[in-house]
Amino acid sequence: MLRPKHKNLPPKVRTIPIIGGLLKFLKGPIQMARDEYEKLGPVFTCKVLTRNITFLLGPEVSEHFFKAPESEMSQKEVYKFNVPTFGPEVVFAVDYPIRVEQYRFFMEALKVSKLKGYVDAMVEEAEAFTSKWGDEGVIDIKAELEHLIILTASRCLLGVEVRKHLFGEVSQLIYDLDQGMVPISVLFPYLPIAVHRKRDAARKRLEEIFGGIIEKRKKSGIEENDMLQSFIDSKYKSDGRPTTHGEVTGLLIAALFGGQHTSSITSAWLGAYLMTQPKVLALAQQEQLKIMEKHGETLNHDVICEMNYLARAMKETLRMHPPLVMLLRYSHKDFDVEVRGKKYTIPKGHVTAVSPSIAGRLPTVYSNPDSFDPDRFKPGREEDKKAGTYSFIPFGGGRHGCLGETFAYMQIRTIYSVILRNFDFEIVGSFPETEWNALVVGPVGPIQMKYRRRKLTQADVCADLLPESTV
Ligand code: HEM
């Protein structure tokens, strides 16, 4: 079909015909997008084989991406490679009205009244885990926190049965699912290769395991406070039917995939900043001392909610190192964006992309964007609020903003309050580089941390680094 002539298409990335875009893209889509942003501005199209991908970089051009209804901007086409991992009954495998109901189940499972119980479990897990570190030593904090986050997720999301009795088997199955997601899976998720076969066997076995647990819970009448229970109790509003074993399993897998790598990567970067930015460490320690003065040793949901500096440090970590570097939608209808007085039409059929990595470093939004400054989010400064709604997007936003954001903030603050209160720590080596060549982007290699156990007191805090008001 011919497009009306008056429509002004976005500028195109110049590449060698047919495979040029693919080559540029495979070298690293974010570096490519950063370079093209400099040359072409915030909206441009890159042809990758037969697909047109239009980038919308920055808050002034990304509103439609986040706000448009599913009939105009949808996720299914671009994220359906997850279907064999999550299963045929959930999320991107089902029609939108069903998916909306399933997202409601997530919201229910992650609401504050449930989170309070999860936080108690997070505290127990973090204390038990760090108690095994002994009095001093050197650990790879990245690997350690990854393990702790799996343990916590097992307990709060998958349930006590998995955490206590089936952790080894279920962790191995989740690992097989994870290994079944290789770059080629994005294009050909059903390709008959060994890792896909292992993935499919793992998915099947997980459904058997969860099916067994669900039936046992139903028979015994015992109800737990975890996401599994919440999904078992969920009912579709459309016809009142309860969830099936396959749906519960799929939703749990989706929660793990949404929250596992993202949270462990974020906690690893945050650790690297605490160990290399003495002022950030001093302010985080000072906050713990103030909170301990008020609440004693207690750590629970309400106490953790008071840790505003730690929350800002985590937010700043995510601004600089969002684990999901590119979010995608498929456009079903032409739409216009305006860039500095110039209007472009993005035709239907284009894949559209926003990038939390690029959005987080825009000098038009953030002052000194390459420096780590948690206080840029402090009341009064709030740089992310000044340039438009979609300035801070590591958790996405709009219609499909992350449903696990609060859970992630609680989990990571719990872990670091336990570490800050009980250990002196320093980095061995230098600040890590970024491993761009991954689906979820994190630091390269191990992050070695040297530690010594002690109870945090005022003497441990480097007071010279603190502003008057906090001492
Ligand atoms: C969606 C990031 C933790 C569950 C998203 C999206 C992003 C994101 C960027 C939007 C994707 C898009 O628009 O295409 C993160 C980060 C996390 C995190 C950075 C940790 C630091 C979690 C956790 C859970 C979770 C812990 C569950 C317990 C979800 C779900 C969605 C989602 C269910 C889909 C929402 C929808 O499409 O309506 N997350 N996430 N996430 N996340 Fe998270």
With a 6 Å cutoff on the Cβ, whether 266 touches ligand 1 is yes
> Cα(202) to centroid of ligand 1, in Å?
23
- What's the confidence (pLDDT) of residue 368? 97
Summarised one tens digit per residue, pLDDT across range 334-352 is 999 999 889 999 999 999 9
Q: What is the mean pLDDT of residues 194-222?
A: 95
**Cα dihedral value 340, 342, 347, 352, nearest 10:** -10
Strand 434-435 relative to strand 342-346: parallel, antiparallel, unpaired?
A: unpaired
Residue 413 tokens, joined: 């603050």
> Cα(471) to centroid of ligand 1, in Å?
37
Summarised one tens digit per residue, pLDDT across range 45-84 is 998 878 899 999 999 999 999 999 999 999 999 999 999 9
Give the side-chain half-sphere CA count within 13 A for 78: 19
- What's the confidence (pLDDT) of residue 471? 47
> Cα(144) to centroid of ligand 1, in Å?
22
Q: What is the mean pLDDT of residues 123-145?
A: 96
The atom of ligand 1 lying closest to the CA of 324 is: 9
CA dist., res. 32 & res. 54, Å (int) = 13
With a 6 Å cutoff on the Cβ, whether 344 touches ligand 1 is no
Mean pLDDT of the chain: 93
Q: What is the mean pLDDT of residues 320-344?
A: 95
pLDDT class of 318 with cuts at 50, 70, 90: very high
CA-nearest residue, atom 38 of ligand 1: 400
> Cα(99) to centroid of ligand 1, in Å?
15
What ipTM is given for this predicted complex? 0.99
Q: How far is CA 320 from CA 140, 268, 390, in A?
A: 22, 13, 15
List the domain boundaries for the chain: 79-320+374-470
Summarised one tens digit per residue, pLDDT across range 278-305 is 999 999 999 999 999 999 999 999 999 9
CATH superfamily of the 79-320+374-470 domain: Cytochrome P450 (1.10.630.10)
With a 6 Å cutoff on the Cβ, whether 106 touches ligand 1 is yes
By 3-state DSSP, what share of the chain in percent is helix, strand and coil, each rounded to 5?
A: 55, 10, 30
